[in-house]
Structure 1
Amino acid sequence: MNLQNITQQYLDIFPGDLSGSLQQRQTPNVLYSTVKPVGFARPKLILFNEELSQHTGLGKFDDEDLPFLAATDLPANVRTYATAYAGHQFGNWAGQLGDGRAIYAGEIKDENGRTTELQWKGAGATPYSRSADGRAVLRSSLREYLMSEAMWYLGVPTTRSLSIVLTGEQVIRDMMYDGNPQPEPGAVVIRTAESFLRFGHFELLSAQKDIALLTELTDFAIANYFPEIRTEGSLKYRDFFASVCRKTAALMSEWFRVGFVHGVMNTDNMSLVGLTIDYGPFSMLDSYDLNFTPNTTDLPGRRYAFGKQAQISQWNLWQLANALFPLIENADFLEKTLNEYSDHFWQQHDCMMASKFGFENLTEKDDEFFTEWQKLMTDLQLDYTLFFTELEKWDESAGLQDFFEKVSYSVTTDESLSKLNDFLISYIERRNLNNITIAESRMLMAKSNPRFILRNYLLFECIEEVKRGEKNMLNKLLHALQNPYQEIYPEFSVKRPLGYDDVSGCSMLSCSS
């Protein structure tokens, strides 16, 4: 890889604490602290993303790159640092948080001028680690690598992963927060993004009343990530906030399209540029359930359940609005923009749902149709992804019971078959309102509905194999996730097996990693 191309624009602009100390502390009036990764004596490469490396301009991997991937023996041009931010966690103000185990290497520009930031996750403690050790384990690293790549190929805005390296050490984690900590293989992942700026970076500076630095950071963000904004003064900051709202609404619609549940939508996990960031106790939907949360820490309130994600993103934007108020100084504008966010999201959501059903446009009665569909999905415990796969192929001559058994987690009854049949009749009637052919309708569905999603039980099986030194499942998943709108492996396009219902990591997880 061409590591000499890594630059440090962020460090050249903003004030930082250059002591390099690992002491866990508050760092007022600075946005970053320099820190050295811990270094690992026996790193072993597990995965390297050749496509991403080429895409970012880093080029091909050779064995001499391993020390960089493991955050060990770094090139002279790489000056490592961690950033400070704050946030609301589960609805409560948590104060300064910061990247406790994410250490920045810098950024790189490709031949087209696109900038990509690089950071290690799990390379040791930073001044923002609080009481944690700054390490990561193979389990969570592999989940983040695979899921972020799966989201990329699904077409959902996301951070991406460049590599996973085993550190050669054991890390103690209490996976289910049940007082039963266990040693797990340690790992370091390199993740990439256009920007890792979060709502929490702005919340921190506003809370500290450091308006000068808040202004500088916002100007930096606009210049680097919102080039469409050409206005000046307070109008520039209004346009900036409105653009963040639009990007966030678009992201939420995409999460709903593919059935992704983040699990920890704290404000410090919200990307300024509308990316899916910080993959922890996430899940793809199996049975359709608006109240499903994959995060055991989110029980019993289910604040971050699937059906609440748009509402929570709006709440998080309110917190960003509060942080930016000293620059915008117009409460009416902020209130109006945030109220419009809901309308904007639902407009995108309904257009997205129309595409999933193969409708060329929306009609006045589609709200009623979508509500009827949601009730059917919930009552019959239907699999979100498989339902649309089967619906795309459906015609009146197909077997109703076969359809039901492929997609339902409930027992087949005459009543359930009758409900499904009634809905399919109403679906055919609604599809007949299209001005496009059935074949064109199905093509629209094929573009909107994945054949393959990376379910938690598949990740669980893969992780167990990799721990044993095997990579067959890993290689198959990589192939499948890179082609999610094709059915590469039919055995992956089935309901979650019943035997995984109560297995930790196959449906719900804790925040522990």
Structure 2
Amino acid sequence: MNIENIKQPFIKIFPGDFSGNPMQRNTPKVLFSTIEPAGFDHPKMIAFNEKLSEEIGLGKFEEKDLGFLVGNNLPENVKTYSTAYAGHQFGNWAGQLGDGRAILAGEITNNSGKKTEIQWKGSGATPYSRHADGRAVLRSSVREYLMSEAMFHLGIPTTRALSLAFTGEDVVRDMMYNGNPQDEKGAVVIRTAESFLRFGHFELMSAQQEYKTLQELADFTIENYFKEITSEGVQKYKDFFENVCRRTADLMVEWYRVGFVHGVMNTDNMSVLGLTIDYGPYSMMDEYNLNFTPNTTDLPGRRYAFGKQGQISQWNLWQLANALQPLIKDEKFLEEILNDYGSYFWESHDKMLCKKFGFDQLLPSDEKFFTNWQSLMQDLQLDYTLFFNQLEKRDDKTDLKAQFENVSYTFLNEKDISILEDFIKSYHSRLEKNTISKEESLEVMKKANPKFILRNYLLYQCIEEINIGKTEMLDKLTKALENPYEEIYPEFSAKRPSNYDDISGCSMLSCSS
């Protein structure tokens, strides 16, 4: 790989060099600290993303590169560092946070001039580890490696995964925070993104009243990642905030399209570029439930439940607005943009649902149709993805019970079938209002509705296999997630088996990693 071409533009711009000291502590008035990865003596490769490596400019993998992929054998030009940020966690101000287990190698530019940041996750303690060890376990690393790639191939803005490797050491974790710590295999994943800048980076500088650095950070972000902004002065920061709001709303709509539940939407887990970032206790939706949260830490309040993600993203943007107020100095403008956010989000959300149903336009009557559909989904406990897959097979001659009984997580009685029949009739009536043909309608649906989603029980199976040295499941899942709008493996296009309903690390997840 061409690791000698990795550069560090960020640390040349911003202050703060606590070189080589991994002690966890506050680092006021700085945005980063230089820190070296822990290094591991006996790493072992699990997976390497060759296509991504070529795309970003690193080139082909060679055996000698394994050390670099876990933070060993760094070239002299690579000066590694972690960044500081703040954030609101579960609605409460948490103060200084930062890259507790992530260390940035820097940035590489490919032949087309596209720049990509490269970051180890699980490679050792940093000044922002908050008394943790900075390591990561295999289960969380596999989940991030696979899910970030799955989201990319679904067409959703996201960080991506370059490599996954065993560190050769065990890590102690209490997976469910119930007083039962156990040894688990350690792993390191390398993730990439155009930038890992978060809402929290701006919150930290604003909270510390470091307004000069806040402005420099905003200027740096706009210049490098928001080329479409050409305004100057205060207007530049207004356009920046409005752009972040739009990207965030678009991202939330995409999450709803495929049924992705992030699980821990703290402001420090929100990307200013509108990327899906920090894959922790996430889940793809099985049975449709607006109140579903995969994160045990989010119980009983369910702040980050599936149906609340649009609302929470707006709340998080309010916090970013507060952080940018020293630059914008226009509360009325910020309020107007944030109030408009809800209108834009819901209109985009409903247009997205139109595509999932094969409608060519959003009609005033669709609000009632969508509400009835949500009630149907929840009352009959229908699988979100499989429901639309079956809807694509619509046929007046099809027996509804036979068609949908394997899509429901409950027994469908005669009353349920009657309710389903009424809905299907209303759906057919709505389709008649289309101005496109049935064939065109079906093509719209196929582009909006994946055939494969990376369900938690499949990830659980994969992790169990990797733990005992098998990679067949990993290979199959990788192929399936690269082709999510095709049915590569029919056995994956099925609802979650009931024997996975109450398994820790599968149906129940925590922030432990």
**TM-score > 0.5, shorter chain as reference:** yes
Indicate the SS of the match to 2:459. Answer: helix
Cα shift readout 1:371-405 (whole Å, capped 9, x = no counterpart): 01000001000000000000011111111111221
The number of equivalent residue pairs is 513
Match of 1:241? 241
Kindly indicate whether residue 460 of structure 2 is the aligned counterpart of residue 447 of structure 1. Answer: no
Contact 2:390 2:404 in 1 (8 A): no
Within-5 A mapping of 1:205-220: 205-220=205-220
> What does residue 268 of structure 2 align with?
268
The 8 Å contact of residues 145 and 164 in structure 1, kept in 2 or not, is answered as yes
Residues 318 and 338 of structure 1 are in contact (CA less than 8 Å); yes or no, is this contact kept in structure 2?
yes
* 1:307-363 residue CA offsets vs partner (Å, 9 max, x unmatched): 000000000000000000000000000000000000011111011000000001111
Contact residue 293 and residue 508 of structure 1 kept, 8 A = no
Shift >2 Å, 4+ stretches? none
Give the aligned partner of residue 53 of structure 1.
53
Asked whether the equivalents of residues 199 and 267 of structure 2 are also in contact (C-alpha less than 8 Å), the reply is yes
TM-score by length of 2: 0.99
**For 1:232 and 1:20, how far apart are their aligned partners in 2?**
39
Give the deviation of 1:508 after TM superposition.
2.3
Provide the residue aligned with 1:370 in structure 2.
370
Runs (5+) with no aligned partner, structure 1: none
Aligned to 2:410: 410
Deviations 1:7-63, CA, capped at 9 Å, x for gaps = 110011111223321111111111100001100000000000001001101111010
Following the alignment from structure 2 to structure 1, what is the Cα–Cα distance between the partners of residues 310 and 95? 24
**Distance (whole Å) between structure 2 residues aligned to residue 333 and residue 251 of structure 1:** 23
**C-alpha distance in structure 2 between counterparts of 1:113 and 1:508, whole Å:** 43
| Equivalent residue, structure 2, for 1:14 | 14
Does the residue aligned with 2:28 lie in a helix, a strand or coil?
A: coil
- List aligned pairs for 1:31-430, cutoff 5 A: 31-430=31-430
Provide the C-alpha distance between the structure 2 equivalents of 1:354 and 1:489, rounded to a whole number of angstroms: 27
- The one-letter amino acid paired with 2:224 is N
Aligned equivalents of 2:412 and 2:362: distance in 1?
Answer: 33
Equivalent in the alignment of 2:472: 472
Q: Distance in 1 between matches of 2:11 and 2:103?
A: 13
- Could you report, residue by residue, the CA deviation over 1:247-280 in whole angstroms, capped at 9, with x for unpaired residues? 0000000000000000000000000100000000
Any idea what SS the aligned residue of 1:406 has? Answer: coil
Equivalent-residue separation in structure 2 for 1:364 and 1:202 (angstroms): 39
2:284 partner letter: M
Determine the C-alpha separation between the residues in 1 that align with 2:33 and 2:61: 29
Structure-2 separation of matches of 1:33 and 1:216: 18
Distance 1:237 1:151 in 2: 30
Secondary structure of 1:227's counterpart equals: coil
Question: Residues of 2 paired with 1:249 and 1:164: CA distance?
Answer: 31
Distance 1:441 1:505 in 2: 39
Matched letter for residue 399 of structure 1: D
Structure 2 match to 1:27: 27
Q: Report the Cα distance in structure 1 between the residues aligned to 2:431 and 2:327, rounded to whole angstroms.
A: 49
| 3-state SS in 1 of match to 2:406 | helix
Distance 1:229 1:400 in 2: 52
In 1, the alpha carbon distance for the partners of 2:133 and 2:12 equals: 28
Cα distance in 2 for residues equivalent to 1:19 and 1:288 = 49
Output one character per residue of 1:118-174: Cα deviation in whole Å (capped at 9) or x when no partner. Answer: 000000000000111000011100000000000000001000000011000000011
Stretch of structure 1 that moved more, 82-91 or 3-12: 3-12
* CA displacement, residues 459-494 of structure 1 (integer Å, 9 cap, x when unaligned): 000000010101111111001000000001010000
Following superposition, the deviation at residue 220 of structure 1 comes to 0.1
SS at match of 1:136: coil
Deviation for aligned residue 1:505: 1.8
CA distance in 1, matches of 2:407, 2:300: 28
Q: Letter of the aligned partner of 1:97 in structure 2?
A: L
Per-residue CA deviation, residues 402-451 of structure 1 (Å, 9 max, x unaligned), is 12212111112000000111000000000111111111111100000000
Q: Distance in 2 between matches of 1:2 and 1:38?
A: 22
Matching of residues 473-512 of structure 1 within 5 Å: 473-512=473-512
* Mapped partners of 1:355, 1:136: distance in 2: 39
Moved more, 430-439 or 272-281: 430-439
Q: Relative to structure 2, which stretch is displaced further, 20-29 or 190-199? A: 20-29
Q: Secondary structure at the match of 2:93?
A: strand
Quick one: percent identity of the two aligned structures? 67
Q: Which segments of 5 or more consecutive residues in structure 2 lack a partner in the other structure?
A: none
SS of the residue 2:113 aligns to: coil
Q: TM-score normalized by structure 1? A: 0.99
Matched residue of 1:452: which SS? coil
Q: Deviations over 1:217-272 (max 9, x none)?
A: 00000000001111111110000000000000000000000000000000000001
Q: What do residues 195-237 of structure 1 show as CA deviations (whole Å, max 9, x unaligned)?
A: 0000000000000000000000000000000011111111100
Matched residue, 2:432: 432
Give the partner amino acid of 1:475: D
Contact 1:47 1:165 in 2 (8 A): yes
Q: Which amino acid aligns with 1:10?
A: F
Determine helix, strand or coil for the equivalent of 1:125: coil
Q: Is the 1:404–1:417 Cα contact (8 Å) retained in structure 2?
A: no
- Alpha-carbon RMSD: 0.6
Match of 1:460 in 2: 460
- Measured in 2, the distance between the counterparts of 1:45 and 1:412 equals 47
Q: The residue matched to 2:162 in structure 1 has which SS?
A: strand
CA–CA separation in structure 2 for the residues paired with 1:22 and 1:171: 18
The alignment partner of 1:172 has SS state of strand
